[in-house]
């Protein structure tokens, strides 16, 4: 056992334990903000696994998309609506938890069976390392051209839509905040912290 | 291209000559550049803080720090020392775990991004293939740290500041990435070393700023916004938000934010010089110059001079940009949050898309000048 191999093994064990315990905590924790932050940690650990597999481009894309965009969006949504109020007790919460736990356990057993019974070709294909970026590009523009183009059109539409939405003129009601009578109405109106346009 | 000076190779060979295995030599090498970069980043920050204080003083017709060292050059050290020994306060109603992790999450990605800044052919920590993409990915972690510290402070100003910071950093990341994409398209590589090399074929005439003037301006505006510098320092707008997400922080945790901000500024300046101003390249091509005086480029003396000149050039270009950023900070008024988001989404995003499109078509039309 040489140094490189043992380092890899240690990294793998640490990362996978982070992923498993982190995702369990995401589901089981009561505090939704903790769950959201831990989700970011889990995404980062998954990126670490990709890095361990010499897929640095995929790892960076994982961080950019999942941590930088998806997770931040989730956090944004949580923090904007996070009112300190008790949720109504849901009927039959215990049985619901049991059922979902059972489904997840069943899925886990199924996947374990697949991963044990499949004859993996070991050792796997050698990684191409730094060339991976070019290879991904080649594949995207040959074998996977149609899905790639469809996805880009979808994203372009979303982007243009964002620009169009942001360009729309929005008129805010003008309030006289110096008038004490209007102070009450200002409070009643509940003007959101950020305008709709800024939530992108 | 010649390979220039390769410190890693000579170091590992030197250690191996002492009778250690190749792997162990490599393991010994790994921490050295990291330490070097950490030290240089911190020194860069100290210099920048001093510059900021001196230039702001000059802009306001004051003298600025004067007594600590010659021209007050030790003032940032004194500031740092003060922050180091200050009491570390965690507000009673704050969420202490998130409150502590937040600043760390802000600082670590910024320092990690120094991995890809080249000071010369082989003078960078790691010439990773994804290069500049790594920086974009890493800088997208920062908003999480900002949201975390804003939320955990349990203070309305902090929360608003954190939300503002995250919104600002997300919206300016897109034009930034598109501007970088245009550069990447021209140099056919994500690696920062390749990007610089492609610019250093004919001295300063081949720098990317001539081929990407619009991209340069977009990148600079976005970099300022990402660093939360005035005119874009809304997350900590004093008159509205006390100090934004930093309001509740004191001592070393505040220093982490402070450090992250300035390291990010220096890093952005370095990356602008790498992407648009030819990185370590001297305004006059060194190959041409050495052939003019009749010395071979492989001469060790020429190599050493070229390497040190490269470091000096990179730092000089970066600090010129830092100077510009400081001057901008002390002479421009702050924009409003709606103006900021308007600028990002209505102006910079369409412009950067058009810039990308124009670059792609120019690349097809003139493959010689735009890297075919």
Query: A110-152: per-residue pLDDT in tens?
Result: 999 998 998 888 777 777 777 778 888 888 888 899 998 999 8
Quick check: B65 pLDDT over 90? no
Q: ipTM of this complex > 0.85?
A: no
pLDDT at B219: 92
Q: Give me the percent of chain A exceeding a pLDDT of 90.
A: 19
For B167-194, give one letter per residue: b (16+ CB within 10 A) or e. Answer: bbbbbbbbbbbbbbbbbbebbebbbbbb
CB contacts under 8 A, B 11-30 vs A, are: 23-24, 27
pLDDT at A16: 92
Flag whether residue B349 sits within 8 Å of chain A, measured between CB atoms: yes
Flag whether residue B112 sits within 8 Å of chain A, measured between CB atoms: no
Is residue B209 within 8 Å of residue B252, measured between CB atoms? Answer: no
User: Least CB-CB distance to A40: which of B133, B144, B190?
Assistant: B144
Alpha-carbon torsion, ordered B309, B277, B210, B364, to 10 deg: 100
B201 vs B328, which has greater pLDDT?
A: B328
Quote the tokens at residue B198.
């492609």
Quote the tokens at residue A72.
């931040």
Q: Cβ–Cβ of B140/A130 closer than 8 Å?
A: no
pLDDT at A182: 55
pLDDT, mean over chain A:
80
Is residue B101 within 8 Å of residue B148, measured between CB atoms? Answer: yes
pLDDT at A179: 56
Query: B252-287: per-residue pLDDT in tens?
Result: 888 888 888 899 999 999 899 888 888 777 777 767
Flag whether residue B129 sits within 8 Å of chain A, measured between CB atoms: yes
Q: Cβ–Cβ of A67/B136 closer than 8 Å?
A: no
Q: Cβ–Cβ of B23/A4 closer than 8 Å?
A: yes
For residue B350, list chain A residues with Cβ-Cβ distance below 8 A: 163
Reported confidence tier of residue A42, pLDDT bands at 50, 70, 90: very high
Q: How far is CA B261 from CA A196, B103, B246, B257, B268, in A?
A: 28, 11, 12, 6, 11
Residue among A68, A166, A195, A197 with most chain B CBs within 10 A, to mutate: A68
Q: How near does any CA of chain B get to the CA of A92, in Å?
A: 32
Residue among A2, A78, A198 with most chain B CBs within 10 A, to mutate: A198
A147 vs B130, which has greater pLDDT?
A: A147
B70 vs A45, which has greater pLDDT?
A: A45
Please enumerate in sequence order all residues whose Cβ is within 8 A of that of B325, keeping only pairs 6 or more positions apart, or say none: B224, B227, B229, B265, B269
Quote the tokens at residue A31.
């505090």
Segment among B19-23, B66-70, B268-272 with least mean pLDDT: B19-23
Quote the tokens at residue B197.
């090399």
Residue among B94, B113, B140 with most chain A CBs within 10 A, to mutate: B140
pLDDT at A153: 93
Quote the tokens at residue A57.
């481009």
Query: A47-85: per-residue pLDDT in tens?
Result: 999 888 888 888 888 998 898 888 988 888 888 776 666
Q: How far is CA A13 from CA A26, A45, B56, B214, in A?
A: 20, 11, 51, 47
Quick check: A178 pLDDT over 60? no
State the Cα–Cα distance between residues B314 and A144, nearest whole angstrom: 41
What is the C-alpha R_g of chain A?
24
Q: What is the 3-state secondary structure (H, E, C) of B124-183?
A: CCCCCCCHHHHHHHHHCCHHHHHHHHHHHCCCHHHHHHHHHHHHHHHHHHHHHHHHHHHH
Longest dimension (CA), chain B: 72
Across chain B, the runs of DSSP E, i.e. the strands, are none
For residue A44, list chain B residues with Cβ-Cβ distance below 8 A: 141
For residue A155, list chain B residues with Cβ-Cβ distance below 8 A: none
pLDDT at A183: 57
pLDDT, mean over chain B:
82
Query: B204-232: per-residue pLDDT in tens?
Result: 777 888 888 888 999 999 988 888 877 88
User: Least CB-CB distance to A75: which of B141, B147, B173?
Assistant: B147
Q: How near does any CA of chain A get to the CA of B245, in Å?
A: 14
Reported confidence tier of residue B2, pLDDT bands at 50, 70, 90: very low
For residue A200, list chain B residues with Cβ-Cβ distance below 8 A: 167, 170-171, 345
Helix H segments across A53-179?
56-62, 72-81, 93-117, 132-141, 145-167
Is residue B310 within 8 Å of residue B211, measured between CB atoms? Answer: no
Quick check: A180 pLDDT over 80? no
- What is the average pLDDT across B70-96? 83
B65 vs A163, which has greater pLDDT?
A: B65
The candidate with the shortest Cα–Cα distance to B5, out of B113, B114, B118, B131, is B118
pLDDT at B113: 85
The candidate with the shortest Cα–Cα distance to B115, out of B143, B100, B145, B137, is B137
Helix H or strand E segment including B289: helix B286-292
Query: B323-342: per-residue pLDDT in tens?
Result: 999 988 888 888 888 788 88
Q: Cβ–Cβ of B167/A198 closer than 8 Å?
A: yes
Is residue B54 within 8 Å of residue B29, measured between CB atoms? Answer: no
Terminal-residue alpha carbon distance, chain B: 19
Quote the tokens at residue B327.
């001057």
Q: How near does any CA of chain B get to the CA of A197, in Å?
A: 8
Reported confidence tier of residue A154, pLDDT bands at 50, 70, 90: very high
State the Cα–Cα distance between residues B186 and A141, nearest whole angstrom: 18
pLDDT at A19: 92
For residue A192, list chain B residues with Cβ-Cβ distance below 8 A: none
pLDDT at A191: 57
- What is the average pLDDT across B296-310? 75
Across the strands, what pairs with B204? B202
Scanning every residue of chain A, which has its alpha carbon at the shortest distance from the alpha carbon of B130?
A: A57
- What is the average pLDDT across B314-321? 88
Query: A183-197: per-residue pLDDT in tens?
Result: 555 566 655 555 555
Residue among A37, A42, A80, A168 with most chain B CBs within 10 A, to mutate: A37
Q: Cβ–Cβ of A40/B171 closer than 8 Å?
A: no
User: What residues in chain A have their Cβ under 8 A from chain B's Cβ atoms?
Assistant: 2-4, 33, 37, 40, 44, 56-57, 60-61, 63-64, 67-69, 71-72, 75-76, 79-80, 129-133, 159, 162-163, 166-167, 193-195, 197-200
- Rounded to two decimals, the pTM is 0.81
């Amino acid at each position: 056992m040489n140094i490189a191999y043992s380092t890899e093994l240690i990294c793998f064990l640490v990362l996978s334990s982070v992923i498993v315990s982190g995702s369990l905590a995401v589901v089981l924790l009561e505090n939704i903000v903790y769950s959201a932050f831990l989700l970011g940690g889990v995404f980062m650990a998954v990126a670490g696994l990709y890095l361990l597999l010499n897929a640095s481009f995929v790892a960076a894309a994982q961080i950019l998309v999942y941590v930088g965009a998806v997770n931040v969006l989730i956090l944004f949504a949580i923090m904007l609506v996070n009112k300190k109020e008790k949720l109504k007790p849901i009927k039959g919460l215990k049985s619901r938890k049991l059922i979902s736990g059972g489904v997840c356990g069943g899925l886990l057993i199924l996947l374990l069976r697949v991963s044990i019974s499949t004859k993996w070709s070991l050792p796997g294909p050698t990684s191409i390392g730094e060339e991976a970026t070019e290879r991904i590009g080649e594949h995207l523009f040959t074998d996977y051209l149609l899905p790639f183009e469809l996805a880009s059109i979808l994203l372009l539409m979303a982007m243009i839509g964002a620009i169009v939405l942001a360009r729309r003129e929005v008129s805010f009601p003008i309030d006289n905040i110096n008038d004490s009578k209007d102070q009450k109405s200002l409070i009643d109106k509940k003007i959101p912290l950020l305008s709709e346009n800024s939530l992108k | 291209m010649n390979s220039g000076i390769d410190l890693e190779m000579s170091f590992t060979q030197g250690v191996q000559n002492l009778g250690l295995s190749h792997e162990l030599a490599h393991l010994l090498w790994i921490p050295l550049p990291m330490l070097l970069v950490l030290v240089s980043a911190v020194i860069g920050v100290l210099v920048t803080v001093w510059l900021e204080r001196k230039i702001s003083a000059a802009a306001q017709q004051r003298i600025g720090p004067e007594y600590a060292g010659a021209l007050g050059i030790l003032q940032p050290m004194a500031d740092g020392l003060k922050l180091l020994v200050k009491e570390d306060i965690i507000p009673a109603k704050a969420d202490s775990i998130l409150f502590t992790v937040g600043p760390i999450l802000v600082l670590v990605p910024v320092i990690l991004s120094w991995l890809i800044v080249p000071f010369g052919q082989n003078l960078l920590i790691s010439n990773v293939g994804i290069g500049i993409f790594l920086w974009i990915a890493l800088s997208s972690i920062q908003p999480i740290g900002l949201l975390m510290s804003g939320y955990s402070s349990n203070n309305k100003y902090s929360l608003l500041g954190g939300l503002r910071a995250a919104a600002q950093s997300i919206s300016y990341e897109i034009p930034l990435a598109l501007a970088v994409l245009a550069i990447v398209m021209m140099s056919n590589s994500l690696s920062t070393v390749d990007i610089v090399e492609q610019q250093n074929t004919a001295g300063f005439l081949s720098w990317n700023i001539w081929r990407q003037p619009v991209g340069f301006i977009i990148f600079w505006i976005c970099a300022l916004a990402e660093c939360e510098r005035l005119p874009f320092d809304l997350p900590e707008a004093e008159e509205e938000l006390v100090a934004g997400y930093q309001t509740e922080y004191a001592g070393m945790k505040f220093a982490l934010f402070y450090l992250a901000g300035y390291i990010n500024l220096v890093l952005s300046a370095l990356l602008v010089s790498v992407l648009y101003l030819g990185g370590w390249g001297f305004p006059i091509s060194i190959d041409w110059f050495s052939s003019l005086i009749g010395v071979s480029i492989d001469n060790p003396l020429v190599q050493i001079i070229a390497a040190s000149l490269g470091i000096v050039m990179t730092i000089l270009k970066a600090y010129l940009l830092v100077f510009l950023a400081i001057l901008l900070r002390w002479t421009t008024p702050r924009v409003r949050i709606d103006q900021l988001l308007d600028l990002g989404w209505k102006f910079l995003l369409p412009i950067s898309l058009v810039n990308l499109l124009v670059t792609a078509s120019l690349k097809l039309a003139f493959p010689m000048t735009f890297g075919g």
